[in-house]
Chains A and B, each alone.
Chain A
Amino acid sequence: MTAHTISVRLENKPGALARVSQLFSRRGYNIQSLAVGPTEHSDISRLTLRVDCSEHSLEQIEKQMHKLVNVLRVTELRPDEAVERELALFTVNVSTDKRAELVALSQVAGARVADIGRDAIAFEFVGRPDEVEAFEELVRPYGVRELVRTGRVGLRRPSAGGRTTPSVQV
């Protein structure tokens, strides 16, 4: 089992996302994260899916997804060929006397302060998924009250060369 990132171009039609997520549950594949949003075309959405599965299952997932009428293209984003980012929001407990220290620390790590409360600060962090995890470790000693991650989004690196080609030819 290996984690894979799959990028899907999807028609922006009612039920299209449900059809994709239904396919995963119905065939017994587990989604680690799923991010969906608009693209350069208003009638097309892009899904970035993170799944933990064997190569054989990955091939099946891609082929089964291609059969969905609303799915336009399925591509695996290989780590060396993709830019992957994630947004996370953290609410971190902090007493007044530790505020300055925590803010300084977060700035070094590349986070932004989103809101400051009496006993907590909300940070936003954008980065590679491993950087998000590193930031979480960094602030954990202060006490993470709440945390939300968008799940990764990804695109093929222009520097990887060539046009993005579907990983399954049908």
Chain B
Amino acid sequence: MLGSDAVLRSLELEGVDVAFGIPGGAILPTYDAIARGTTVRHVLARHEQGAGHMAEGYARASGKVGVAIATSGPGATNLVTPIADAWMDSTPLVAITGQVKSSLIGTDAFQEIDATGITMPIVKHSWLVQDVEELPGVMKAAFHIAQTGRQGPVLVDIAKDVQEAEFDFAYPDEVDLPGWKPPTKVHPRQVREAALAIAAAERPIIYAGGGVLNADACAELRALVDSAQLPAVVTLMGKGCLPDSHPLNYGAPGMHGSKYANWALNKADLVIAVGSRFDDRVTGKVSAFAPGAKVIHFDIDAAEVGKIRHAEIPVVGPLKLALAQLAEEVRAVAADGCAARDPWLRQLEDWRAQFPFRYAKTDGQLKPQTAVEALRDLAGDRDDIIWTTGVGQHQMWAMQYLVCDRPRSFITSGGLGTMGYGLPAAIGAKAARPDATVVCIDGDGCFQMTCQELATAALERLPIVAVVLNNGWLGMVRQWQEMFYDERFGQTHLTHAVPDYAQLAEAYGCAGFTVENEDQLEDALSAAFTAGRSAVVDVRCDPEEKVFPMVPAGAAAVDVMEAPEEEVRA
């Protein structure tokens, strides 16, 4: 068998049904193997960054490993952003790149770049394969490492002559990785300690993050919340791991989280972190974060525990197991009595009633929040909706106003904050879940970074809906300029008019709609949902609208700023 065929056989044996990529010189033999025949569906992207984000969207929607394929040199460098994104958000991703022939490596050959070197700080592991005999073992190890322990990206860089070499293919049954031993168990004594702390807490709060989704531990989290009546806040990356409509879910804390979620987290006496990592966008000023709280930290990655905030009770291990054991222990411990928690739960309800998300409608201006609310209402109780977003104001409004009651129904770029993530991630999610209605809520700045992938959506028959909250600006940057840079709006004005998104959509074979006022909103969104092909809705909205509440960078999270009163007179 040829090395190139071995790449495809390995993907097939790993259960990969879709891969995303673009061919080029150094990966040509592998694309020839694709042309010769494989059960893997290849989705042809228009830019390697798009292919990488599609693989991420696929992974986040399905829970499986995403696969992106690119050539050497610029193909590999274009994959760097998605690899970094997958690294920051712990998304399982196998990136496969072609490399120049072994004899040319190190000579600055055409399209040669040190792909393993460039990506070293942003992968769990990587390989440069220069011997075809090593290829099956490397592929096996790549998939194993990407999805075990804390999930994340790996890179397999394969010299062109390796792809062209003939050998006897045998896929190993097991990996030979003596240095890779992610935890598979949880220390029962730590779980017991955690249960005792929970029983003693008067003001406990669960702080759940994306790790719960990755660990497939949503049912266990919900069981714990229900049985122990523990209130929870859920981060941007965790959205959907506990139903947003669950009465004990207080939503997202952090820079643009609600005041009640921030207060719930910061005024607690016990913070139970579950698959979350005390990101600066959540904590605000770390020294002022949850000052009166003891911390229990559940994580699969020992290095996250105690990294930012000391954990009095660290619990390292798989969350699915840990949360199931915790629920049992809490039940056992609670039999001996629990601290009175009703005043705290009443307090949280009071705060929620007192500080809802709010914005003012003004005549003649369509507010972006209105568009998100319309989308939320259109989705209603449907269980087939997957939302994706880019990064910025629209992402924060999506976080605030969308109701996600199912795991893997909200897909966004959290840690890296990658503008341009939303559209390709939506296409990847659609490839993973063809039955789903995939809706990308995007900003106009984000959309223009990867909008060439509309061609992929159209030609690969992966219909998605992109709703561009077009305020004509790099809105979040504009917001900071207005608030912190004396309203000097340097280089943030994109204009509403260029491009004309509806025409752009039509040019790519998609349906295009333009919404200029609230009256047109519902019809356009309904039409886009039922277009039978990919659709782009250009929602022209108020350029001056800002995201509130807001914890200014470096401030204590408890000092969250509400929208100025005059701006929210409804």
Residue A93, interface by CB 8 Å = no
A8-53 CB contacts (< 8 Å) to partner B: 11, 14-15, 18-19, 22-23, 26
Residue A118, interface by CB 8 Å = no
Which residues of B have CB within 8 Å of A11?
A: 178-179
Which residues of B have CB within 8 Å of A72?
A: 178-179
The interface bits of chain B over 180-208 (1 if a CB of A lies within 8 angstroms of the residue's CB, else 0) are 11110000000000000000000000000
Which residues of B have CB within 8 Å of A163?
A: none
Closest to A59 in B: B306
Q: Is the Cβ of A69 less than 8 Å from the Cβ of B181?
A: no
Residue B177, interface by CB 8 Å = yes
Stretch at the interface among A60-68, A101-109, A125-133, A138-146: A60-68
Q: Is the Cβ of A69 less than 8 Å from the Cβ of B306?
A: no
Q: Is the Cβ of B302 less than 8 Å from the Cβ of A22?
A: no
Residue B125, interface by CB 8 Å = yes
- Count, chain B residues at interface, CB 8 A: 24
Question: With contacts A14-B128, A72-B179 known, is A66 near B120, CB below 8 A?
Answer: no
Residue A5, interface by CB 8 Å = no
Number of cross-chain contacts by CB at 8 Å: 47
Residue A168, interface by CB 8 Å = yes
- Distance in Å: Cβ of A7 to nearest Cβ of chain B: 15
Which residues of B have CB within 8 Å of A170?
A: 181-183, 302, 316
Closest to A43 in B: B178
Q: Is the Cβ of A63 less than 8 Å from the Cβ of B302?
A: yes
Residue A70, interface by CB 8 Å = yes
Closest to B150 in A: A67
Which residues of B have CB within 8 Å of A68?
A: 125, 179
The interface bits of chain B over 93-125 (1 if a CB of A lies within 8 angstroms of the residue's CB, else 0) are 000000000000000000000001100110011
- Distance in Å: Cβ of B375 to nearest Cβ of chain A: 39
Closest to B307 in A: A60
- Distance in Å: Cβ of A16 to nearest Cβ of chain B: 9
- Distance in Å: Cβ of B139 to nearest Cβ of chain A: 15
Q: Is the Cβ of A69 less than 8 Å from the Cβ of B179?
A: yes
Which residue, of B128, B182, B307, has the highest number of chain A Cβ atoms within 10 A?
Answer: B307
Question: With contacts A60-B307, A66-B302 known, is A19 near B120, CB below 8 A?
Answer: yes
- Count, chain A residues at interface, CB 8 A: 22
The interface bits of chain A over 145-170 (1 if a CB of B lies within 8 angstroms of the residue's CB, else 0) are 00000000000000000000000101
Q: In terms of DSSP, what is the predominant structure of the interface of chain B? A: loop
A57-83 CB contacts (< 8 Å) to partner B: 59-60, 63-64, 66-72
Which residues of B have CB within 8 Å of A14?
A: 128
Which residues of B have CB within 8 Å of A26?
A: 121
Choose from A22, A56, A63, A64 the contact partner of B120 (Cβ within 8 Å).
A22
Bound-state Cα–Cα, A22 to B120, Å: 8
Which residues of A have CB within 8 Å of B117?
A: 18
- Distance in Å: Cβ of A18 to nearest Cβ of chain B: 7
Which residues of A have CB within 8 Å of B121?
A: 22-23, 26
Which residues of A have CB within 8 Å of B149?
A: 67
Bound-state Cα–Cα, A66 to B304, Å: 12
Bound-state Cα–Cα, A14 to B121, Å: 16
Which residues of B have CB within 8 Å of A70?
A: 125, 179
Bound-state Cα–Cα, A11 to B125, Å: 13
Residue B562, interface by CB 8 Å = no
Residue B145, interface by CB 8 Å = yes
Residue B301, interface by CB 8 Å = yes
Q: Is the Cβ of B302 less than 8 Å from the Cβ of A69?
A: no
Question: With contacts A19-B120, A26-B121, A170-B316 known, is A67 near B303, CB below 8 A?
Answer: yes
B235-252 CB contacts (< 8 Å) to partner A: none
Choose from A56, A60, A69, A71 the contact partner of B303 (Cβ within 8 Å).
A60
Q: Is the Cβ of A63 less than 8 Å from the Cβ of B303?
A: yes
B276-315 CB contacts (< 8 Å) to partner A: 301-303, 306-307
Closest to B145 in A: A69
- Distance in Å: Cβ of A77 to nearest Cβ of chain B: 20
- Distance in Å: Cβ of B198 to nearest Cβ of chain A: 24
Bound-state Cα–Cα, A19 to B302, Å: 19
Q: Is the Cβ of A15 less than 8 Å from the Cβ of B116?
A: yes
Which residues of A have CB within 8 Å of B178?
A: 11, 72
Closest to A11 in B: B179
Which residues of B have CB within 8 Å of A15?
A: 116, 120, 126, 128
Question: With contacts A59-B306, A64-B303, A170-B183 known, is A69 near B120, CB below 8 A?
Answer: no
Which residues of A have CB within 8 Å of B126?
A: 15
Which residues of A have CB within 8 Å of B183?
A: 170
Q: Is the Cβ of B302 less than 8 Å from the Cβ of A168?
A: yes
Q: Is the Cβ of B120 less than 8 Å from the Cβ of A18?
A: yes
Bound-state Cα–Cα, A71 to B181, Å: 10
B133-154 CB contacts (< 8 Å) to partner A: 145, 149-150
Which residues of A have CB within 8 Å of B306?
A: 56, 59
Q: Is the Cβ of A67 less than 8 Å from the Cβ of B177?
A: no
Bound-state Cα–Cα, A83 to B177, Å: 30
Closest to A62 in B: B303
- Distance in Å: Cβ of A20 to nearest Cβ of chain B: 11
Closest to A14 in B: B128
Which residues of A have CB within 8 Å of B316?
A: 170
Choose from B125, B150, B301, B307 the contact partner of A69 (Cβ within 8 Å).
B125
Q: Is the Cβ of A69 less than 8 Å from the Cβ of B128?
A: no
Bound-state Cα–Cα, A75 to B546, Å: 51
Starting from the known contacts A60-B303, A64-B303, A170-B182, 8 additional A-B residue pairs (CB-CB under 8 Å) come to: A18-B117, A18-B120, A26-B121, A68-B179, A72-B179, A170-B181, A170-B183, A170-B302
Residues of A at the B interface (CB closer than 8 Å) are 11, 14-15, 18-19, 22-23, 26, 56, 59-60, 63-64, 66-72, 168, 170
What are some 29 contacts across the A-B interface (CB < 8 A)? A11-B179, A14-B128, A15-B120, A15-B126, A18-B117, A18-B120, A19-B120, A22-B121, A23-B121, A56-B306, A59-B306, A60-B303, A63-B302, A63-B303, A66-B302, A67-B124, A67-B149, A67-B150, A67-B303, A68-B125, A68-B179, A69-B125, A69-B145, A70-B179, A71-B179, A72-B178, A72-B179, A168-B302, A170-B302
The 8 closest A-B pairs by CB, nearest first: A63-B303, A69-B125, A26-B121, A72-B179, A69-B180, A63-B302, A64-B303, A22-B120
